[in-house]
Structure 1
Amino acid sequence: MMNYHLWLGFVAASIVMGLVPGPGVLSIIGYAVSSGTRTALASVAGMAVGNICAMTLSLAGVGALLASSAAAFTLLKWAGALYLIGLGVLAIRRSHMDATDKDVILKPISARLAFRSNILIGVFHPKTIVFFVAFTPQFIDVHYAYWPQAILLIFTFTVVVGITDALYALTAARARTLLVSPRAKIWMGRAGGGALVAAGAATLMTKN
């Protein structure tokens, strides 16, 4: 189906990619800190779906189009970044309301919203799509059929990065549960919102 040594090399590279924090990891940490474990793990699942879509689009040739079109790249970058920043600002405002109005009971960001949001972040983060175009072909063996290898690489990357993302989510959520006082929860909400804003800013700083 594919070269075993190439596949092991891809696994190692995927582990490195998963451990290096990027906008996706920042968004997951933001959800974990602001809204807890359930929401964070839902965001991990959403990111996994987004990664599957991004890799599939890349290997189907869409990444090459983005790499050659500055306008399309910029449009997707701004859309994803503004969405993340908007969610972060919302989380910060909610924590401020909690601090100023003791009668207001604020709900955390729902798991469903986090799941949907991170699908969009995974799919519409143009740097990821373009990166896959340059990165993945190095692990394709021309002596084997293309799409079976591509599907295996998509599955491998999704599983490996899903595991590293889940570790980030659980660690951040654990840190949140250790701070149980109302004031600490307010600041954790603000920190989570700040992480989402930072993820949006990191997306804006990517270059084609």
Structure 2
Amino acid sequence: MLAPEQFFGFLLAAILLTASPGPDNLMVLGLGMSKGRQQGMVFGLGCALGCLSHTFLAVIGVSAIIAASPTAFTLLRIGGGLYLVWLGIGALRSTGGQSAASAKEPSQSLRSLFMKGLLANAINPKVVLFFLSLLPQFVIAAHGNVPGQMLALGLTFTLQAAILFGLLGYFAGSVGAWLERKPGAGKWLDRLAGTVFIALGAKLILSR
């Protein structure tokens, strides 16, 4: 359903954005370091699967807007692009001060950790806006079946997030030790992600 260049371009952007320091992956890292691999991996799986709700909202919402009003879709496109640029500027200005230590949680059951990750991601309005901004610009309208393309992109994002979060939880001890030796790593990851955000936002604003 997705063209190779469409799929791999989106996958690269998704991996860069997922790997950049943020509440979800820092929580996965902190839990993996403090409570064990299993706890970090289960929480990460919950966070990743929470993306499915945003995928379906994007598919339904954007498709409805396209059908109802080209003007409304243009406003959504510009608003989404400005939102991505704003996120990018924030990431570029970040000092990389967040740490996995601040993400440590008291002991919880695996089911509780999974549900916490799932719900925290699913009800986060910022993630909703992010998906509404990100998915449409990787859709190729000429290929038809726009909802199907968006669904495939959302599933791709969810799958790569589950894999990355799972690996992060599993290797949390090694990753945490590396970050302690490289205190500036988080800042450079933020800068890389910020550049990607701004580029995607500009592309969305300028596209027709």
Q: Which of the five TM-score ranges fits, normalised by the shorter chain?
A: 0.5 to 0.7
Q: Which has the larger displacement, 164-173 or 36-45?
A: 164-173
Distance of aligned partners of 1:175 and 1:21 in 2 relative to their CA distance in 1, 3 Å threshold: closer
Number of residue pairs matched? 140
**Residue of structure 1 in register with 2:3 after alignment:** 3
Q: Could you tell me the percent identity over the aligned residues?
A: 27
Secondary structure of 2:149's counterpart equals: helix
Q: How far, CA to CA, are the matches of 2:121 and 2:138 in structure 1?
A: 22
Matches of 2:7 and 2:104 in 1, distance apart? 41
Spell out, residue by residue over 1:69-108, the C-alpha distance to the aligned partner (whole angstroms, 9 max, x if none). Answer: xxxxxxxxxxxxxxxxxxx6862xxxxxxxxxxxxxxxx3
> Quick one: which amino acid aligns to residue 47 of structure 1?
C
1:1-208 alignment, distance < 5 Å = 1-61=1-61, 91=106, 108-143=107-142, 144-173=144-173
Q: TM-score, normalised by structure 1?
A: 0.59
Larger Rg: 1
Write the distance in 2 (CA, Å) between the matches of 1:132 and 1:112. 26
Unaligned runs of 5+ in 1: 69-87, 92-107, 179-208
Contact between 1:31 and 1:109, CA under 8 Å: does it hold in 2?
A: no
Give the counterpart letter for 1:15 in structure 2: I
RMSD: 2.7
Deviations 1:107-143 (A, max 9, x none): x321111100000111122211101111111111112
Cα distance in structure 1, aligned partners of 2:137 and 2:175:
39
State how far apart, in whole Å, the 1-side matches of 2:30 and 2:109 are.
Answer: 13
CA distance in 1, matches of 2:57, 2:109: 28
User: Which runs of 4 or more aligned residues in structure 1 lie more than 6 Å from their structure 2 counterparts after TM superposition?
Assistant: none
With over 3 angstroms needed to count, the CA separation of the structure-2 counterparts of 1:173 and 1:117, relative to structure 1, is: farther
